[in-house]
Amino acid sequence: MDYDKRYWNKATSFYTKLGIPWQWLKDGYIPVIIELKKAIGDLRGKQILDYGCGAGKITRPLKLFYGAEVQGIDPSDNMIQEARKADPVGRYELLTGDFPWPDSTLDGAMSNWVFVDIGSLEEMDTAAREIYRVLKPGEPFVMLVNNEEYIGKRTSTYQNGKTGKTYNPGDEIMVTYFIKENESIEFKDYYWPIETYCSVMERAGFREVTSYVPELNPRTIEEIEFLQSNDFFPDVDYQAVVDEKPTVIIVGKK
């Protein structure tokens, strides 16, 4: 797949810096876990694919706290090196073509902020078909993407696109993440409507494809408190953390 390696490799140090727990919550990963658990049940021992795993920011907590056998794949050499360094016994594959897993062998799949980095429908279709291929029948694929209602709006941690600018499907869109008061990083995503991502999943063969904006609810709080009990989350006001809703969850089943 034709990813722009400059932006992927540039983002490595940024995502490593954002490995702090409250950012893990704000970026929408807990609803991904909830969807996986809803479809699969107990994640212990389950083979979960993390497509676009990066440095393993969500891969490792899923393994450590939920017992899942998460296996990552990513197109960035730098990201894979970081992931292997942090988790030497884990499986992290460099994406160079077809996935190195046989048909119908994995129990679930997730993709967090990855399809927003793909600039063509053809490449998205290819990725979705590969994810579909390696999943067992009936198992879920959970995708985390941008909420298009937040395009051009600044949140407490980032701004996706320019204020007042109109974007067409497939347009490049620059994202600025604010790491500290005087520190930020900018890299490139692509604008796609939520309907496009849903159509990509359906063309790949996924059924029961749905999308929604995650909300703070008892199930979310339960997961937060579980992670807090394992000293992953600090004692933070998680209501304030999730007041912004810049993410969308899309889920389908093979």
pLDDT in tens, 37-89: 999 999 999 999 999 998 888 898 899 899 999 999 999 898 899 999 989 99
Report residue 120's pLDDT band, with 50, 70 and 90 as the boundaries. Answer: very high
Domain total for the chain? Answer: 1
Q: Which of 6-15, 102-111, 159-168, 204-213 has the lowest mean pLDDT?
A: 6-15
Q: What's the chain's length in residues?
A: 254
Q: Is the pLDDT of residue 6 over 70?
A: no
Residue 202 belongs to some domain of the structure: yes
CATH number, domain with residue 16: 3.40.50.150
User: Which tens digits make up the pLDDT trace of 134-170?
Assistant: 999 999 999 999 998 888 888 777 788 899 999 999 9
Instruction: State what percent of residues in the chain have pLDDT above 90.
Output: 54
User: Which tens digits make up the pLDDT trace of 230-253?
Assistant: 777 666 666 655 667 788 999 999
Look at the block and give the residue holding tokens 């994640």. 43
Q: What is the DSSP secondary-structure string of the chain?
A: ----HHHHHHHHHHHHHT-SHHHHHHTTHHHHHHHHHHHHS--TT-EEEEET-TTTTTHHHHHHHH--EEEEEES-HHHHHHHHHH-TTSEEEE-SSS-SS-TT-BSEEEEES-GGG---HHHHHHHHHHHHHHBPTT-EEEEEEE-GGGTT-B-SSEEES-TT----TT-EEEEEEEEETTEEEEEEEE---HHHHHHHHHHHT-EEEEEE-----HHHHHHHHHHHHTT-S-S--HHHHTSS--EEEEEEE-
Residue 187 belongs to some domain of the structure: no
Residue 80 belongs to some domain of the structure: yes
Residue 177 belongs to some domain of the structure: no
Q: Is the pLDDT of residue 11 over 90?
A: no
| Pair 105, 180: CB distance under 8 Å | no
User: Which tens digits make up the pLDDT trace of 15-44?
Assistant: 545 455 556 566 678 889 999 999 999 999
Q: Is the pLDDT of residue 1 over 70?
A: no
Residue 170 belongs to some domain of the structure: no
Residue 68 belongs to some domain of the structure: yes
Residue 172 belongs to some domain of the structure: no
Report residue 125's pLDDT band, with 50, 70 and 90 as the boundaries. Answer: very high
Residue 16: alpha-carbon gap to chain centroid? 15
Residue 154 belongs to some domain of the structure: no
Domain containing 52: what range? 5-146+193-253
What average pLDDT does the structure give for the chain?
86
Report residue 200's pLDDT band, with 50, 70 and 90 as the boundaries. Answer: very high
| Pair 218, 110: CB distance under 8 Å | no
Candidates 200, 90, 103, 197; CA nearest to 146 is 197
